[in-house]
A and B are shown apart, each in its own frame.
Chain A
Amino acid sequence: MKLVTAIVKPFKLDEVREALGDLGVAGVTVTEVKGFGRQKGHTELYRGAEYVVDFLPKVKLEIALADEMVESAVEAITAAAQTGKIGDGKIFITTLEEVIRIRTGETGVEAV
């Protein structure tokens, strides 16, 4: 099992969610996050004074998947979240040791 963590542009969230839904992904956890990458921050203006916003808002999706689903999920997220411009985000894949469904106590792939 793998945990796929994707950081995407907030306005792409709906498209990513639909693409994952079409694949049959059973659950996603979404968090509003802020950070910086190569895009860095951007400047804003208030009463004539410029100020730098260091951390830009992004959306973080966390998806637990069976191994065979990972490749297609990554493709779906990439296709849906891509604009081709700087700041499209990243996908991190980590190994997931165990998953437990709290309601039934099921473990492993059954619980994903």
Chain B
Amino acid sequence: MTDVFQLQYALDTFYFLMCGALVMWMAAGFAMLEAGLVRSKNTTEILTKNIALFAVACTMYMVCGYAIMYGGDIFLSSITGDGATGAEEPATYAPSADFYFQVVFVATAMSIVSGSVAERMKLWAFLAFAVVMTGFIYPMEGAWTWGGASVFGMYTLGDLGFSDFAGSGIVHMAGASAALAGVLLLGARKGKYGPNGQVNAIPGANLPMATLGTFILWLGWFGFNGGSVLATASVESANAVAVVFMNTNAAASGGLIGALLVARLLFGKADLTMALNGALAGLVAITAEPSTPTVLQATLFGAAGGVLVVFSILTLDKLKLDDPVGAISVHGVVGLLGLLLVPITNEGSSFSGQLIGVATIFVWVFGASFIVWGILKATMGIRVSEEEEFSGVDIAECGMEAYPEFVSAKS
């Protein structure tokens, strides 16, 4: 093994791990965003869900998720070897670094679900779903896409021209599909929709927190997309990484500006929460292919996502699909847009391949999730009681409030 290869191996592994750490940090971003957009009486519970789902995702993906997605045995017993010498096709990074990078993506997909079902779903039903989602549902569609396996022996998405660079569909739309199934079975928050089709606002408690969460997600996304280049220790891969960083940032900016302007035109005011969703929509839109667009195209793709997300949020409300943080619109609707934009700049993908990929991911994740949510609803129940919802799930589920000083003078 040459010294140069050793150096490349060390650098690629290090880069991979640091990008994984950035993606891990996105869990903090989701936690802050969601805590900011729910009411203060539901803060402790949403924080508990966010950090617990991360631990559940890491554990389930270790137990069986990685094996289902990429082959090998449960409990990662097959990836203890040396990537440079142990694998059939020598990798330039350590096998356990690959697991680490993959596992934080699973957690991201699951984080998307928690926001949509916030303020009314039972904590333990949610965590039970997280076990199945991160241990089975996500790894199955991950195997058909990044894993290269055929879909129940019928067809192979890669051969059909399906391409999803960092997971607009595999991670984001998948998370949103599971969220949509949950929201359909769960129903809207009390008081969200009036009798004559009116949509009532339920303002979030802490917009500084929501903004911080969005900044954290934006930062973490450089690991999400940048790390998906999978290497950095050659001129070619280093250039690719730099382009991906540049385009990811451009798309987020485009998305924010698009959403901010649309919100101003539609509502007459600069709606911050829509702008935040716009930045995330820009990021989701570019995630399917951040390496081939020009930086101008990336900005425009992001802006398209930002514009689309505002209309999507308003449309979901008209359909009485209550999504407190807009996750189904940001990750699902714009994830779909991101996949369909890929063939414009990536000649290796085809429009039909993208559509088949979208259908495969959606039908599988939505269908499997609907069944799991349905079983949970029939057995343990997925929704808290009306009284618990009124007094807040913090007290009902966690027995503590996020800001106790405001109500208790005893110290």
Interfacial residues, chain A to chain B (CB-CB below 8 A): 44-51
Contact = CB atoms under 8 A, between A and B. Distances in A.
Contacts of A45: 201, 267-269, 271
A48 B271 contact: yes
16 contacts: A44-B203, A46-B202, A46-B271, A47-B271, A47-B274, A47-B313, A47-B326, A48-B263, A48-B310, A48-B313, A49-B200, A49-B201, A49-B317, A51-B200, A51-B201, A51-B203
Interface string B192-216: 0000000111111000000000000
B49 to A, nearest CB: 21
Contact of A48 (B202, B203, B204, B317): B317
B325 to A, nearest CB: 10
Interface of B: 199-204, 263, 266-269, 271, 273-274, 310, 313-314, 317, 326
A50 B198 CA distance: 10
B273 A46 contact: yes
Of the listed residues A45, A47, A49, A51, the one surrounded by the most CB atoms of chain B closer than 10 A to its CB is A47
A10 to B, nearest CB: 19
A106 B387 CA distance: 51
Main secondary structure on chain A at its contact with chain B? Answer: strand
Contacts of B203: 44, 46, 51
A48 B199 CA distance: 9
A45 B271 CA distance: 8
A4 B199 CA distance: 43
Contacts of B199: 48-49
B192 to A, nearest CB: 9
Given A45-B269, A48-B317, A51-B200, 19 more contacts: A44-B201, A44-B203, A45-B201, A45-B268, A46-B201, A46-B203, A46-B271, A46-B273, A47-B273, A47-B274, A47-B326, A48-B266, A48-B267, A48-B271, A48-B274, A48-B310, A48-B313, A49-B200, A49-B317
A47 B271 CA distance: 6
Contacts of B271: 45-48
B349 to A, nearest CB: 34
Closest 7 CB pairs of A and B: A46-B201, A49-B201, A51-B201, A46-B203, A49-B199, A45-B269, A48-B314
A47 to B, nearest CB: 5
Nearest to A47: B273
A47 B266 CA distance: 10
Contacts of A50: 201
Of the listed residues B267, B273, B313, the one surrounded by the most CB atoms of chain A closer than 10 A to its CB is B267
A93 B201 CA distance: 39
A44 B268 CA distance: 11
Contacts of B268: 45
Contacts of B200: 49, 51
A49 B202 CA distance: 9
A22 B199 CA distance: 51
B161 to A, nearest CB: 37
Contacts of A51: 200-201, 203
Contacts of A49: 199-201, 317
B399 to A, nearest CB: 29
A45 B313 CA distance: 15
A35 B263 CA distance: 31
A105 to B, nearest CB: 27
B406 to A, nearest CB: 13
A46 B317 CA distance: 13
Contacts of B326: 47
Contacts of A44: 201, 203
Contacts of B202: 46
Contacts of B204: 46
Nearest to B273: A47
Of the listed residues A44, A45, A46, A49, the one surrounded by the most CB atoms of chain B closer than 10 A to its CB is A46
A47 B269 CA distance: 10
Nearest to B314: A48
A45 B204 CA distance: 12
Contacts of A47: 201, 271, 273-274, 313, 326
A49 B200 CA distance: 6
A34 to B, nearest CB: 15
Nearest to B325: A47
